[in-house]
Structure 1
Amino acid sequence: MMGLARGPMARIADIGFWKLCGSGTGEGFTPLPNTSVYAVLATWPDAETARQQTDTAEIYKRYRTQACEHWTVFMSTDSVRGAWSGKTPFEASQHMNTGPLAALTRATIKPGILMRFWRRVPDISAVIGQDPNVIFKIGVGEVPMLHQVTFSIWPDAARMADFARTGPHAAAIKAVREEGWFNEELYARFTLLSDVGTWGGSSPLSRLETT
């Protein structure tokens, strides 16, 4: 369904930038594909359109019919820098969120450094997996190994920054900058608006109430 969805996705009224992604095994941060979990990212002119189209568009209804479980997160962009497929896909609002937020990174990895990149990933995955502050995390991608996306949800920017600036993640970011690992990269932060469905039997956003 991911391979055949490009036509139906492109024909959805008012859809903007969109991508179909597979995931890795475990929490998604591995080069081994997980054929059970897929992700759809799409932008819309407003939240009402987003909710209506993800509820009524035929391709979304087909996905829900075929899935054992589905979860949709609605967000607005706080900030964005970089490019994705040569475009800036998100339009930032005029405010910065001070509460719970989502972070998305996307990178096109240079083929010559693939081994160095993936050698660092297990250490980062282990640390984020043990971090009690991360509400949700997953790694997805358009092309295995080469085009990687991370998506995570945090109680606030301070606790996200604490993770990013320490340990193996900080070392990896330093290597990215010094050695030029990526052909293209994008980083965006989002305000969480609402969600529909479940992940593992419940909404991950329910954890925000106790964090």
Structure 2
Amino acid sequence: MTQTVSLSFYRFAGAASRVWALTMMGAARLPLARTPDIGFWKLCGSGTGEGFTPVPNTAVYAILATWPDAATARKRTTEGVFARYIAKATETWTVFLQTQSVRGAWSGQSPFAPTQASGTGALAALTRATIKPHIAARFWARVPNISEVIGQDPNVAFKIGIGEVPMLHQVTFSIWPDEKTMAGFARTGPHAEAIRAVRDEGWFREELYARFAVHSDRGTWNGTSPLAKLEAA
């Protein structure tokens, strides 16, 4: 079996639904832990703008989880607590991923199991970090610039910033058509400058970098599948 990672996004409209989604950041923990076949999982809020920003987006939440295989991932992400999110949300999108490479740790664990999966040809990049509190101001001074550049890149099919704890635990996630375009962004401009600062100044208490093959998806985001942009190209 090949481990599959699911990343599900949920959009909520109206104050009541958004309050429900916020309370589920705590209330969903036990149901998720009891979900059959689930491995590592995280509940996340999101930031506004292109990529991650320190301003929360109260309309969008996400659940990341690992599963023993793709069929199980597709089934379980429509059941139980996932079904409750789907019923409350105005729009949902889940992307299914298979890990190609990973380094670092997340909450002291190594959650993703690399395989030789090729998927559709599209690649996803995930960066997760715990920011040292005394460095947070410098970190957030740089991130909006990186986020703006990601949003302007014509190659990126999807990009979002999510996080477990506002300001201190952040995740960036993006989808690219191929390795060349992904690497081109990572090695130039504000992103490359930030990476150098991370290494030189020791911004992060814990960090993880993972690359995935995009296996498949389900649902829509902003009215269409983000993978449709890659298929059209």
What TM-score bracket applies, with the shorter chain setting the length?
A: over 0.9
Q: Deviations over 1:112-143 (max 9, x none)?
A: 11111000012111111100011100000000
CA distance in structure 2 between the aligned counterparts of 1:6 and 1:39, rounded to whole angstroms: 13
* SS of structure 2 residue aligned to 1:129: helix
Is residue 50 from structure 1 mapped to residue 73 from structure 2 by the alignment?
Answer: yes
2:82 is matched with: 60
**Contact kept in structure 2, 1:98 and 1:156, CA below 8 Å:** no
Q: Deviations over 1:84-121 (max 9, x none)?
A: 00000000014567921001000000111111100001
2:195 is matched with: 173
Is residue 29 from structure 1 mapped to residue 79 from structure 2 by the alignment?
Answer: no
Choose which of 21, 28, 34 in structure 2 pairs with 1:5. 28
Q: Identity over aligned residues, as a percent?
A: 71
Q: Structure 1: which 5+ runs fail to align?
A: none
1:35 Cα deviation after fit = 0.9
1:28 Cα deviation after fit = 4.6
* SS of structure 2 residue aligned to 1:189: strand
* SS of structure 2 residue aligned to 1:27: coil
Is residue 104 from structure 1 mapped to residue 129 from structure 2 by the alignment?
Answer: no
Q: Structure 2: which 5+ runs fail to align?
A: 1-23
1:27 Cα deviation after fit = 3.1
CA distance in structure 2 between the aligned counterparts of 1:97 and 1:69, rounded to whole angstroms: 25
CA gap 1:51/1:95 in 2 versus in 1, 3 angstroms: closer
**Contact kept in structure 2, 1:78 and 1:97, CA below 8 Å:** no
Shift >4 Å, 4+ stretches: 95-98
CA gap 1:72/1:96 in 2 versus in 1, 3 angstroms: closer
CA distance in structure 2 between the aligned counterparts of 1:94 and 1:155, rounded to whole angstroms: 18
When the two chains are superposed, the root-mean-square deviation of aligned CA atoms in Å is: 1.3
CA distance in structure 2 between the aligned counterparts of 1:162 and 1:27, rounded to whole angstroms: 18
Which one-letter code corresponds to 2:139 in the other structure? F
**Contact kept in structure 2, 1:106 and 1:149, CA below 8 Å:** yes
Is residue 142 from structure 1 mapped to residue 164 from structure 2 by the alignment?
Answer: yes
